Amino acid sequence: AETPIRQAEAEGAEEFHEVQEEAEELQAEEASGAGEEAVISPLQAARPAPINEPDEEGEEVAFEGQVEALGPLVVPQRIERQVAKHATRGRGEASHRFECPDCGERFRDWNTCLEHYKDTCHMDVSSETAVAEARSMSKPILFQCAECFEGFPSWHECKTHLEESGHLAWADKGTQRLLCMPPDIEAVDPEPEMEEKTEKAEKARKAQTAAQEQMIKRKVKALQEERRREHKAKQKAEKEEKTGQERANGEQPAASEEKTEKAEKARKAQTAAQEQMIKRKVKALQEEASQGRQPKTLLNNAIAKFVRRCLKKNDIVYTQVESKDGTFKVEVSLNTFREESEALKDLKSLRFRGGAAKTAKEAANLAAEEALRALAAAAAVEKASSTTAGDKAAEVAQVLQDASPPPP
């Protein structure tokens, strides 16, 4: 229970808020210029207006005994609202849900109201239809018109009545609702038998709730077990699938190893064929050089080994070119050398193009012969000359110009 000091503080806070609201409303009305509105009494509204008839000259003449109507009474709306608030202060919501339309007795629950009808016969409750009708007619009067005192079970019906009848038209909606709320009447205390029934119903409801909770727990537990079993089965299936993939991958490396061995054998065979071809071409170049400009003593076995060593390191780059007439031309460049020779380094930027051939293979062979010829000539100059590096480069360029065929 609240102490008297707290109650006094709460009442003081309420009054402060009310005064503050009234001050705000007064300021708003003075600012808008609509603070004073006329409230006309019903007697003034019913009194007929004076009738003036014109005379012969056209001027209006008042009848004898005619009294001019009094002007309308001007009452500020804020005063009306303030009076309504003070009149309804301390009035709470209705605590009852059913009300006997015959004697006006109020009830908190329908069972008590039904027992009242059975004992007093104020309403017919002999059948289910009669009970339903009695229940609909037992709705409590929660709002009451302040002018005609007609009761309504809801604010919507009361507001409709006010709009149709014009009652309380001078007040705003909030003031109308406050005025139409009847004073709260405490509900009838339930009888001891009713209390026992209520306790039994409460116990039965608690027991039913507990049973429902137990059932929900069992269902949740069963669902968790089912999900756990599904998860285990899924893990087992994934493990078996992974094992199968590992087995398949174990067989695949064996097949890939066989393919790698075959490819290695093919590559070695191709390399051996290329070496044989290079040997034949070097031999042919040596014979050609012995019959041409270079002395036979310079093209010895050391030159052949030098040329073979360069070609083994993939130092020749082939570029295939297809002409418009369908023939092929292949351009060959000597890529890089590991030799510490200024004369041989100049061969990096030179290109050797063979003659036109019907196939790309024949054109590549022609270009390779030109490159080998230039390489052999450069090696011969390297062996025979004893001049400086610049002279060697000039001699190599001259030999290559003489050895290379004219461009097509």
Q: How confident is the prediction along the chain (408 residues), in pLDDT tens digits per residue?
A: 445 556 556 666 666 666 667 667 666 665 655 444 444 444 444 444 444 555 555 555 554 444 444 445 555 666 766 766 666 565 555 556 788 887 878 787 888 888 888 888 888 888 888 888 888 888 777 778 888 888 887 788 888 999 999 888 888 787 787 788 766 544 444 445 555 667 788 888 888 888 888 888 888 888 888 888 888 888 888 888 888 887 777 656 566 677 788 888 888 888 777 777 766 766 666 666 555 544 333 334 444 555 555 554 445 555 555 555 555 555 555 554 444 455 455 555 455 555 566 666 666 666 666 666 666 666 655 555 544 444 544 555 555 455 444 444
Domain boundary (146, 179, 212) is at: 179
For residue 33, give its domain range: 4-39+70-179
Domain shared by 214 and 359, yes or no: no
- Compute the C-alpha angle 106/109/110, nearest 5°: 95
363 vs 355: CA distance, rounded Å: 7
**Residue at which a domain ends, from 147, 179, 211:** 179
Coil, strand, or helix at residue 122? coil
Q: Same domain, yes or no, for 303 and 333?
A: yes
- Please check whether residue 52 lies inside any domain of the structure: no
State how many domains the chain has.
3
Residue 45 lies in a domain: no
Beta bridge partners of 319: 331
Cβ-contact 379, 310 below 8 angstroms: no
Tell me how far the alpha carbon of residue 360 is from its chain's centroid. 61
185 within some domain: no
Is residue 107 within 8 A of residue 191, CB to CB? The reply is: no
Q: Is residue 340 part of a domain?
A: yes
| C-alpha pair distances (Å), 209 with each of 99, 196, 215, 335 | 32, 20, 10, 91
Query: Are 305 and 350 contained in the same domain?
Result: yes
Q: Does 236 fall in a domain?
A: yes
Q: Beta strand pairing status for 316-322 and 151-152? A: unpaired
* Cα separation, 286 vs 292, whole angstroms: 10
Look at the pTM and tell me if it is higher than 0.85: no
Residue 345 half-sphere exposure toward CB, CA atoms < 13 A: 7
63, part of any domain: no
CATH number at residue 328: 3.30.160
User: Do 11 and 156 fall within a single domain?
Assistant: yes
Asked if residues 376 and 307 have their Cβ atoms less than 8 Å apart, the reply is yes
